[in-house]
Structure formats: structure tokens, C-alpha cells
Structure 1
Amino acid sequence: MLLKGFISRELIPGAQNELKGSLQRISDHALDDLLLGLSQFAPSFVLNKEKITVLTEPKEFFFTLKNKILNARRRVFLSTLYIGKSEYELYTVLHKALSLNMDLRVSILMDALRGTREAPGPTSASLLVPLISLFGRHRVDICMYHTPNSSGLKRILPSRVNECWGVQHMKIYGFDDEVILSGANLSCEYFTNRQDRYHLFSSPQLTDFYATIHQFISSISYKLVPSDSPEKMALVWLSDTNCPEPTKDPENFRRHSTSVLLKLLKPTPINTNEVFSTIVYPLFQFSPIFKPYDFSTEKKGICLILDTFLSSQSTDYDWILTSGYFNTDKDYSKRLLTSSSKGCVIVSSQQANSFYNSPWPSKMIPSAYSFLAERFLLDVYKANKQDNIHLEEWKNGCHGEGGWTYHAKGLWIMPSQENEDKGRKPYITFIGSSNFSRRSHSLDLEATALIITFDTELKKSLRDEIENFRNYSKKVDLSDFSSPDRKTGWFVKLCVWILGKMF
């Protein structure tokens, strides 16, 4: 039986027998079929207790990030959308780590469009390129992914507009045998007053796997090199994998990436003789670089979990979904709205959106996401689920006036209060870069991990993580969207209708 590995070594014999019976009952109804289903398309890694640490605050994330980089002996690999163009403290930490340890290798993957957006002014790329000059490309490798969706005539558009066609959005931060999965980028606000999620995994096997994914996407990306240009840097195509250039031959670029990714993402069976308390399934949304079929696994995994635990008949589990940019995929919404389970959606308030009070046209973005949240709530009422599904807005002050912004994303599925103490049931969460939106599932590269755990301490940490968010969230109803300051203009609605895939 697949689930027997979940029985912990630390349990006393009597409790172990009791738990085994409990697991058998759970297995008969859901979990065994779930694990079999996941094993068809996703690699899996088993972890024991105290191998996952849930970080809660931006400053804790930054402290951990710096500490892990400085203490890394072999490798540091960072996959992110961008690094802040004035993030000198992080630059100094990388410089110090490389100076103190001659065996250390640093690899950084960013998005080419976002990482050079402000050129010829200061950019992520111009901040980091001196590391290559100082320590050499044999020790510092900085790569810039460019979406194949932006090719041909699209390339003449401004960089910020071109980002709408897709970016490298994964947030994977690895150090030797540990890796942080997050939704946070690497810039000042994410280290101070921009709320996100951050899970630290201590597992050589899992870290090696994510390092392999990082290395492959880096290998099909442009290389950052020093140059004599005004920007002091250049992006060059030096792929050593015979991969076609994404902006010149996007179709064959996709075919090449597909052939390699199908091998890297090959599902792995669980060792049923191994004892563990947690299973981690890395899931990815790589739609822009698959051809001719989309073999992405994130949506498959989420739909399978929702179908397993949130059926229209069962009320055994509750759920919480959050996104700073809420535009949930319709296949998820359909499942949530037909479920009998109780649930809560936490979204960013307009005041906690980083585009709040920004110049036109980006100033319309908070209103657009507010409109999308209102539209979801209308669907809740149409489905007669308003007693089961609530919408909450997160707000901690006001952006631009010393307040925080909200960038967290995730899905938690937990035993309902009535079932919490009736048996040993698992907690499930998805952690990573995806907003579970139409954009996430069509345009960007996303990395998400599915965690299924029976670990009591980890379950408590996940509950605390949720409570940390809900301390600043407030329930809203349809009447709240009717107030004059919340009214969405026709132009914003038109933009959402036309550009919905890009939100």
C-alpha cells in the first residue's frame, strides 16, 4: 500500500497500530488513488520531520536568504523574475560569499525583459554583471530567459509591454542541499513590507532536482556578459545545447525544450518501504516552451487534488485560496463552486496592490483585480454558495503611505473542524510562484510544489501561516463593491475583457 510509508518511526507501537488503521480508512476513500494519480505525471520526494521550515515575514526570508548564501560551500542557484536594480546588500552578500569560498559557484536565472527593463539606466543585469568580471564565468553564471512568444515584430514593442507575452516567473532559491520555494522576488520591498510565502526544504535529493530544472532553463537562456557598451553588459546567445534561439526560431526552440523537459519531469514512484511523514511533488507550468502539446503538470495536480478532496458530496475538508493577483483559472473556479466544502478566498485590497496610485495606465490594475474578485463573488452567489464561500481582502496600511503590499499565493486544503480530531488526516498545500491564473497557465514559467503531510508540527506551521494572513484580512460582500470609491469604470472592464489572459 502506498501510504504505509506515512507511518512515523517516532510513534510508540500502540499508537502506530491505531494510526495504521486510520490510514487504511483514509486510503480506501481518497489518498491511495490520489498518490497513484500523481505518480502518473509528477516526480515525488519523501521527507521526514523537521525538513520543511515555514517562514512567515519578509525580514525572516531575507535573513535566511543571506545566511544560506554566506554559508554555502558548493553552490548557490537563484531563479527569480528579477533582482532589484539597487539591491546592493544582496550583491554584497554574493560578493562576500564568492570571496570567502573559492569553491563556491553561483548561478542566477532571471527574465530577460524584466531584468533589463530600465536599460540603459540601472537594471538587474547591470547590478550583477560586475560579479562576472570579478570572479569569472566559471564561477558566476547569469542567464536571462526570453519568452519565445515575443518574437518577430513583437520585439519592437517596449520591454514593459513585451513582458505581457510571458516571463520567467519561477522563484527557486537553492544553497548546497537546501532550497527555498517562494512567490517572492529579490528586491527591497520583498525583504521589508511585501507579504509573500516562503518554505525552506532541507533535502539533498529535492534540491538536486530543482537545481537540474534551474540549469536547464538557464541553458536555453541568454547569457549575461560584460561589454564596453554604455550599459556595461550584453545578452548573448551561447547555448551549448544546440538549442535554437527563442526570438529567431521559436517553434524549434519549443521542440528542443520539450524533448529535454519530458525527461527531466519524468514521474518517479514512491518507495513504499521508506518511512516518511511528508511527500513533495514538484509541479511546473511550462506552457510557453512546450510543443506541440502542453505537458505542464501544475494544473493537472491542482485539479486532481480538488477532485479528490472537494467533491460535491463531501464536507470533510475545508480550503483557502489566496493570490495577490486574483484571476483564477475557470477549471478551478468550477470545482470550488460545485464543492460542498467551506472555503475562503483571500485577495489583495486595492490599497495593498503595488500598482495602487501608480501612473497611468498601471494605476488601473488594482481596479481590474478588484473587478475580477467581484465577478468571482457574483459567481458564488449565482451558485448559491455564499454560506460556504467567503471573500476576504488583505490590507495592512496603504501602499505609498508606509503600508504593506500583498503578493502571497497558495492553496491550502485541511480537515474541516468537525473532522480535525476524528482521525489522522493530511494537510495539503501548494507553494510557489503561480497565481493559479489564466496568465500563469498560458504565458509564464511557474514552479509550484504540492505538499501532502501528516507531520503534526508542519501542519501547525501551515495553520499559523494562514492565520498570519488572516490577521490582516477582512470579509467583503457584494455591497462593498457598490460603494462609489469601488466602482469599476467601463474602460477597465473592457481591458479585462480583451486582455483577461494577461492578468
Structure 2
Amino acid sequence: MLSPLQKYAPTFYARGDDITPLYEPYAFYSELKTRILNAKERVFIAALYIGHAEQELVETLRQALRRSDRLKVCILIDCLRGTRVSKGKSSATLLLSLIQEFPSQVQVSLYHTPDLTGMLKKTLPQRFNEGIGLMHLKIYGFDDTVMLSGANLSQDYFTNRQDRYMIFNNNHSLTNYYHDLLNTVRSFSYQLQPGTNELIPYQLTMQQDTVDPIQETSDTVVLPVIQMGPFGIRQDEKTTLRLLEIAHENKNWTIDLTSGYFNFTDRYKSFILRTQARFRFLTAAPEANGFFNSKGVSRYLPPAYTWIEKQFFNHIQRSQRDNDITIEEYKRPGWTYHAKGLWAKMGTQTRPMLTMIGSPNFGHRSSERDLEAQAIVITQNENLQEALHKEVERLHDYSELVTKETFTRKDRLVPYGVRAATAMIKTML
């Protein structure tokens, strides 16, 4: 029934017992450090950025490198975000010491969107230029194990910013696939190198490198998909839409879908509204949005997402789908919400047999501007199905149902200026 999805993505097989979701940020950080220290051959990391203050993480990498001169560390971050200076530091300057100490073991690459060039490149200031497009992959690999997530590498993602994290243990072919993906993006990215003096602490150069993946077999199928809108690669979008078609054709599916940033494309919205399935959407409440109470223009982003959410809620009402499509908001005091992904149950099943895990938010930026990586995991393994059920229900433990009254509350009223601005910059959200 799900075999049509294999037309859109490569297929990898795994044992469900070798796949482990994590549930808390501290577990993600602890596992990340432990896996780095235990790695024998390779550590590869792709993330939007590494927080400029994450010295402990850098020291963990340094400790692992000192243990073995065979260990190779490859890091891929976004160039715009990774060179953004905060308090005199950036991801690039933070990682520079590793390159200087281990020049034959460490490679740091910075992807730069091809859409930011010429006068636009010269005139757009930092932070604003990131709206043009970013490298948004979140991949963490250690020898023959890979961890997929939506989380970046900074303090809030290690403490009180809820996300998703899934470990694929002992899967040589799948890990090689993501290693190959990372190296492919690296081949057209800048390479971080030491600079010539204190005024020029680092320089960016170019190089190429590739790796081939290998297949395995078992009770679980893993289909990696990528989305690179600037390059015309729409694998993730096509596969997701085909999955919704399969759900519609077979009926009686229950689909949980979550994103910290609620901004579906028109294609996703139309497919969702016509798909004969029960949907539970989970997104961040305004106070759980990472931009809540931020400085500058970004403080208007939570109300902008509220406006987009309200419009979709109204679409549900007009389509008379409010009995089988619901929206919930994640609220947890002191926490922000960044989890993204999908879980699906067929017919009378009580546990998900499919999940999507990775970096996309199912929105305009993910589809058109950013570079994204995701995996579809389809399993018959009951232990993994139970773990997936636990994962999604734990997220809903902190949620509240959205109703008409939600948008009439004083704190949820969206200023007219924000509504107008949202329409103009919707594809950048």
C-alpha cells in the first residue's frame, strides 16, 4: 500500500529495535556528547548553527579528537547564520580552534544560498539576509549510527526547547547516505580555514568530497528525502503529498502533524483539507514560540503565526472538517517549542506505523527557500510503534485545544499592521 512512496526516495531497511526516539532536550544533549566521545572513525554534524557560547560541546569534540588520530570530524553549518556575530563571536570563530589544532582531522563547511548575491548581498544586514534562504539540515552521525532531529546546537535546545530526536543505531547504509548527503552539500559550500592575522581570523575556501551509501534489510523501512527549493529539488514535498494521497485513497487514517512554526503552503493546505483522514495538528502557543518577547521586528513573529493559524482554522470551519481536523498548541511554562514531524496510524491501529523525522516545518520556507533533510520511517516493529506512540502523546500532554474563543482573547488579537506584513513576508516564515 505504501510502496508508491518508494518512487520518490531511496529505501533503507532497519530493525525497529535499533531505532530509538528521545523525549527530552537534556537526553539529546547527553546522547550527543556520549556518542561523540565513543566515536572511533567519524563524527559528522549538520545544523543551522552552533551557539557561539557552546564551549562545552567544542571541548567534547576536542577530547574525542585527542583520543584518536583516526577520528574524522566533519561539520556543516549555514554560512549566513554561522558567521552572524553575537558578542564578538560566531559559530565560525568558535569552531576555528578545532581546525587549528586538528587540521588533518576536522573539516568545517558553511553553505551559502545561491539566491543571495549582488546588490541584495551587499545591502541586506545580518539576520534579515537569512530570510533569503538557509541550510536547515539537522543530522548528527557517529560511526554507523545517525541521529535525526529538528534541533540546533545551543543552550535552549539542550534544556527547555522541546524538539524531536531519533537515533538509528548500527545502520551502516543509512548513516552513509546522510554522510554522503552532507558531503554533497559540502562540495558546493565554503570551507572554514584559519585567517592570516588577528583582523582576519578565518577565511572561506572550496573543496569537494563524496561517499556512496549501502543497503540493509529488516522489519523497518527508512526513506530519506531532501528538499532544496533553490536547486529545484522537491523530493520531500512530493513524497509528503503522495503520502497524503495514500491516506485519502485508503481512508480511516489518523495523522498527527507538528511544527513549531505553523505556516502550511497552499498545496499542503489543499491536500490536507481534501484528505479523508483524521488530523491532529500541534504547534507552538505564542509564548512557546522562540521569538516570543524578542527584541526588534522579530517580536511580531508570534502574532504573525497566530494570524496564519487563525486563517487555517477558518478554512477548516468553512470546509466543515472541524469534527476530524483539530489544532492544539504546546504550552509548557518556561519552555519553547521547535518539534516538527508527522505520525500516521492506519485503520483501527492504536500505534503509529509511520513517522517523518527531520528538519522541515511543512511551510513556505521549508518548501521554497531552505535546505531540508527528512526521513520517512515505516515499521512493523511493535516496540518502535509503542515508542512512537509515547513520543507523540508526550508532546500532546502539554497542549491545549484551539477553538473559536482562542482567537477572541485579548492576548491573541493580531494588529492590522502585522496582518498586512504577514501577507507580504509569508514565504520567509
Shorter-chain TM-score bucket reads over 0.9
Shift of 1:225: 1.2
The residue number in structure 1 matching 2:339 is: 408
Tell me the alpha carbon deviations over residues 453-483 of structure 1, each in whole angstroms, 9 at most, x when there is no partner.
1110111011000111001000011221012
Q: 2:390 corresponds to which letter in structure 1?
A: D
Match of 1:39 in 2: 6
> Structure 1, unaligned stretches of length 5 or more?
1-30, 242-259, 398-402
Counterpart for residue 206 of structure 2: 238
Q: Deviations over 1:280-309 (max 9, x none)?
A: 000000121x2xxx2321011101111001
Q: Equivalent residue of 2:368, what SS?
A: coil
Equivalent position of 2:243 in the other structure: 305
Per mean C-alpha deviation after superposition, the further-off stretch among 479-488 and 61-70 is: 479-488
CA distance in structure 1 between the partners assigned to 2:324 and 2:10 by the alignment = 34
Cα separation, 1, equivalents of 2:423 and 2:195: 43
Residue among 343, 349, 366 paired with 1:420? 349
CA-atom RMSD, angstroms? 1.9
SS at match of 2:224: strand
Contact 2:343–2:352 (8 Å) recurs in 1:
no
1:345 equivalent in structure 2 = 281
AA aligned to 1:420 is Q
Q: Distance in 2 between matches of 1:434 and 1:102?
A: 35
Percentage of matched positions with identical amino acids: 38
Asked if 1:448 corresponds to 2:374, the answer is: yes
Q: For residue 224 of structure 2, what is the amino acid of its counterpart? A: P
**Structure 2 equivalent of residue 148 of structure 1:** 114
Q: Does 1:484 align with 2:420?
A: no
Contact 2:24/2:162 (<8 A) preserved = yes
Q: Given the alignment, which residue of 157, 178, 182 partners 2:149?
A: 182
Q: What is the CA-CA distance between 1:233 and the residue it aligns to? A: 2.9
- Describe the superposition over 1:219-262 as per-residue Cα deviations: whole angstroms up to 9, x where unpaired: 21111111244466323232348xxxxxxxxxxxxxxxxxx9xx
Shift of 1:68: 0.5
Q: Letter of the aligned partner of 2:175 in structure 1?
A: T
User: Is it true that 1:460 corresponds to 2:389 in the alignment?
Assistant: no
- Alignment partner of 1:331: what SS? helix
Structure 1 distance, partners of 2:199, 2:310, is: 44
**Do 1:224 and 1:233's aligned partners in 2 also have CA atoms closer than 8 Å?**
no
What is the CA–CA distance in structure 1 between the aligned matches of 2:197 and 2:359, rounded to whole Å? 34
Paired residues for 1:123-202 under 5 Å: 123-136=90-103, 138-156=104-122, 157-202=124-169
Contact 1:125 1:233 in 2 (8 A): no
Q: Following the alignment from structure 1 to structure 2, what is the Cα–Cα distance between the partners of residues 426 and 389?
A: 18
Q: Distance in 2 between matches of 1:165 and 1:264?
A: 31
CA shift, 1:41, in A, is 2.8
Q: How does 1:14-29 map to 2 (within 5 A)?
A: none
Question: How many residue pairs get matched?
Answer: 427
Which of 170, 194, 214 in structure 2 is aligned with 1:226? 194
Counterparts of 2:200 and 2:143, CA distance in 1 = 31
Query: Contact between 2:5 and 2:243, CA under 8 Å: does it hold in 1?
Result: no
Mean alpha-carbon deviation: is it higher for 478-487 or for 185-194? 478-487
Unmatched 5+ residue regions in structure 2?
Answer: none
Paired position in structure 1 for 2:311: 375
Q: Pick one of 291, 302, 317 that aligns with 1:355.
A: 291
Confirm or deny: 8 A CA contact 1:72 1:176 kept in the other structure: yes
1:400 counterpart residue number: none
| Kept after mapping to 2: 8 A contact 1:426/1:454 | no
Of the three residues 422, 429, 438, the one matched with 2:355 is: 429
1:217 to 174, 185, 188: 185
Q: Distance in 1 between matches of 2:390 and 2:270?
A: 28
Q: Corresponding residue for 1:9?
A: none
How far is the alpha carbon of 1:335 from its aligned partner?
A: 1.9
Distance 1:339 1:304 in 2: 11
Q: Is the 1:111–1:167 Cα contact (8 Å) retained in structure 2?
A: yes
Please list the CA deviations of residues 118-168 of structure 1 after superposition, one character each: whole Å capped at 9, or x if unmatched: 1681111111100111111x2110010000000011111112111001000
2:47 pairs with 1:80: yes
- Counterpart of 2:36 (choices 69, 75, 81) is 69
Deviation at 1:490, TM superposition (A): 1.1
Relative to 1, partners in 2 of residues 1:278 and 1:140: Cα closer, same or farther, differing over 3 Å?
Answer: same
| 1:40 to partner: Cα distance | 2.4
Normalising by structure 1, report the TM-score. 0.82
1:317 aligns with 2:237: no
| Contact 2:161 2:337 (8 Å CA) reproduced | yes
SS at the partner of 1:227?
strand
Aligned to 1:8: none
C-alpha separation in 2, matches of 1:358 and 1:320? 29
Bigger strand fraction: 2
Which position in structure 2 is the counterpart of 1:58?
25
Query: Are 1:287 and 2:229 counterparts?
Result: yes
Residues 91 and 128 of structure 1 are in contact (CA less than 8 Å); yes or no, is this contact kept in structure 2?
Answer: yes
- Do the aligned partners of 1:181 and 1:431 also contact (CA within 8 Å) in 2? yes
Relative to the length of structure 2, the TM-score reads 0.95
CA distance in 2, matches of 1:168, 1:286: 9
Is the alpha carbon distance of 1:349 and 1:231 closer, same or farther for their aligned partners in structure 2, counting shifts above 3 Å?
Answer: farther
- Bigger-Rg structure (1/2): 1
- Deviation track 1:374-421 (CA, whole Å, cap 9, x = no partner) reads 111000001001111111010101xxxxx00000001111135xx127
Residue in structure 2 matched with residue 384 of structure 1 by the alignment: 320
- 8 Å CA contact 2:72, 2:105 repeated in 1: yes
Residue 447 of structure 1 aligns to a residue in which SS?
strand
- Taking the aligned partners of 2:188 and 2:292, their CA distance within structure 1 comes to 35
SS of residue matched to 1:216: helix
C-alpha distance in structure 2 between counterparts of 1:48 and 1:159, whole Å:
44
Distance in 1, Cα, partners of 2:342 & 2:235: 16
Q: Is the 8 A contact 2:136 2:371 kept in 1?
A: yes
CA distance in 1, matches of 2:59, 2:79: 22
Displacement of 1:66 in angstroms is 0.4
Output the CA distance in 2 between the equivalents of 1:377 and 1:207: 39
Deviation at 1:339, TM superposition (A): 2.5
Displacement, 1:264?
A: 7.8
| Aligned residue in 2 for 1:335 | 271
Cα distance between partner residues in 1 of 2:20 and 2:203:
37
